[in-house]
Amino acid sequence: MKKLIIAVVALVTLASCNQQKTGYVDVAKVMEEYDAVKDMEKEVKAKTDAFQAKYEQIAAQMDAQIKAKKLSQADAQTQGQQLQMAYQQEGQALQQETEAMQKKMIDDFKEFVKEYAKKNGYAFVLGSNESGNVLYGNEKADLTEKIIDAINEDYGSGDKTEKSAKDEPAKKDAAKEEPVKEEPKK
């Protein structure tokens, strides 16, 4: 009788473990197709182009003054050093701003996936990338396209930072999804 009870408890435990939904997301693909990332890249490119154009124009003006002999060699050297220092400082500030934007984008993505997983009943959502965090995943567990669609819809709704997947209506095909069952450990 004890063996029967132990066997039933073991089967119930295994069955309950297998009911947890697990999915994975190809993070690189999401970042390539996420509209907010595309917008950020355009913004960074515009700032970088403006930065480059500003300093190219100043350098061209200095060259013209040197050629017209309106600027002495000593003054040109002093101004050149000042220009180089200003260029480096502004370049570092632009780099820091870009890194802060990227960090915020990644943090927003993680928060979105967290809310999406809660809303759609996923116990685990793994990140797949080039380093091989997910070496294989059943195609039914691949949430990449669903996440791309949902996060772009969320981003396009106008409230680009605060709205999350918890506000998103459940997908029609969510009812068709089968939980990905984990193999019992031996």
pLDDT tens by residue, 17-48: 556 888 999 998 999 999 999 999 999 999 99
Q: Considering only residues 95 and 185, tell me which one the structure prediction assigns the higher pLDDT.
A: 95
CA distance 75 to 158: 52
Q: Considering only residues 186 and 68, tell me which one the structure prediction assigns the higher pLDDT.
A: 68
Is the torsion defined by CA of 78, 81, 85, 91 positive or negative?
Answer: positive
Average per-residue pLDDT for the chain: 78
Range 66-74 average pLDDT? 82
Residues 82-109: tens digit of each pLDDT: 989 999 999 999 999 999 999 999 999 9
CB 125 within 8 A of CB 146: no
Closest CA to 143 of 164, 169, 182, 112: 112
Res. 3 pLDDT band, cuts 50 70 90: low
- Residue 57: its pLDDT value, please? 93
Residues 112-132: tens digit of each pLDDT: 999 999 999 988 899 887 776
The CA R_g of the chain, rounded to the nearest whole Å, is 27
The verdict on pTM exceeding 0.85 is no
Q: Considering only residues 66 and 110, tell me which one the structure prediction assigns the higher pLDDT.
A: 110
Please state, in angstroms and as integers, the Cα–Cα distance from residue 127 to each residue in 85, 143, 165, following that order.
41, 10, 17
CB 76 within 8 A of CB 66: yes
Res. 186 pLDDT band, cuts 50 70 90: very low
CB 131 within 8 A of CB 21: no
